[in-house]
Structure 1
Amino acid sequence: MTAVLRCHGVVKKYGANTVLNGVSLTVEAGQVTGLLGLNGAGKTTLMRIATGLAKPSAGHVQVLGASLPMHPDTLARVGAALDAPAFYRWMTGQGMLRTLLDMAGLPDEGRIRRVLERVGLTEAGRRRVRTYSQGMRQRLALAAALLKEPDLLILDEPTNGLDPAGVRLVREIIAQEAARGAGILISSHQLDEIARVCDTITMIAHGTVSAEGTLDELGLAPGSGTESLEDWFFRHQDTLPGRAL
């Protein structure tokens, strides 16, 4: 397989506060890698570094074979939905996506129509974003991440605010993108959700990797997680591979 993202020994400090401390992970083309951890574990910070939005204090990051800082040609092959979706609320959904395409220097060629259809916003795309529910804004953020038909797709908590139908739709899109050959990094603090969609998982706690491996290696199975993530970490803290919690 081809690695679309490699992070090795990534450290991120904000003053005296160390948010990431030697984090390493790899995302392969056609595979879904889950980044799992409690709130504040450092998941979003790592994703911001991987998309060029933040600079690591130490360590090495390669995106699609190229080291940071990211060249525009590399950035054009990366799609991401990070943090809470932020859009110009006075624009329509279609207009917002058109603006993002213009900023990326990419032609439409039906991209906007296709991504709105994929996320179930074909009709709503004509409405102003200020009329959208939280779940609709989350779908629009996913549509924006898909616009470039990316080779690396990075999604931070993509099912937040979605109803069950929306959650199923996101799962389907993730599977479709992996089948297309994209490498996908998805973060969550929901144990069962990660277990349903990911091929491999990196578990992060207090800015360090506490465990990594396949679902079988970590004892996770789709539909297994009625327990909370906090309970899972506590129950496995003495047996997790890698660094102890």
Structure 2
Amino acid sequence: MKQEIVKGTHTAVTIAENADPFQAFADAVAPQYILGKLLKFTKGDWLAGENSERVDQKASFIVGMPALMTGWVRWHEFKPVEHAMVSIGSRLLPPGRDELGHNDPSTWETDDRGDKRDPWQLTSYLPMVANGEVFTFAASSKGGFEALGKLSRVYAAHRRHAPDKLPVVSLGSGGYDHSRREYGYVKTPLFLVTGWVPASQFNEIVALAGYDFPDGNEPAPPKDTAAPASAVKRDDMDDDIPF
């Protein structure tokens, strides 16, 4: 089982006994949240990468559910500059919004409509692979979270009798009528589960791409097991992520 870095009140980084010290160092100084190409759903289209290329919706994606993360991303000048994320499998909860600072709306940046926008945005990241490539789906909207919620419910039920399997999905779309009439019909992402494969298939592709991922589908730790608290990590070296 991969061990996480535990950050205490001092400045030293404690590394668990079985952890690779070089991987632990990399996670501490340059944590990775986006693996491979950023995958996003925009106005009914599935797009990937810095150039927002259209994704083949007929492709089959293996979803790395054990790597699902959720929490907060702080944006400044259209760039993510801080993350406060936790792994879903850790059983931890991300910090509350009021714990993160930047609580004065008068200091917030404005969006393209001229409205003040909270710099901290609730976000989830989910890695997946298709045709030998690695992607990370980023959700920060109602529709995105609902799609992840439905997929997580299906996965939770299946893993009870097949804990070493991961879902295979195709990309679809749904939608709803927004409560504000001027927004009209809002298209939303949809994951259609088409099958299940051994987790090793996902891990092999991710490893070949140079990313670290825990082997297999690890069981959740006992409730009385000590777990590291979530940390707010600055991303001063992050490249611009075109959400």
TM-score by length of 2: 0.26
Q: Which is richer in helix?
A: 1
Q: Which is richer in strand?
A: 2
TM-score by length of 1: 0.25
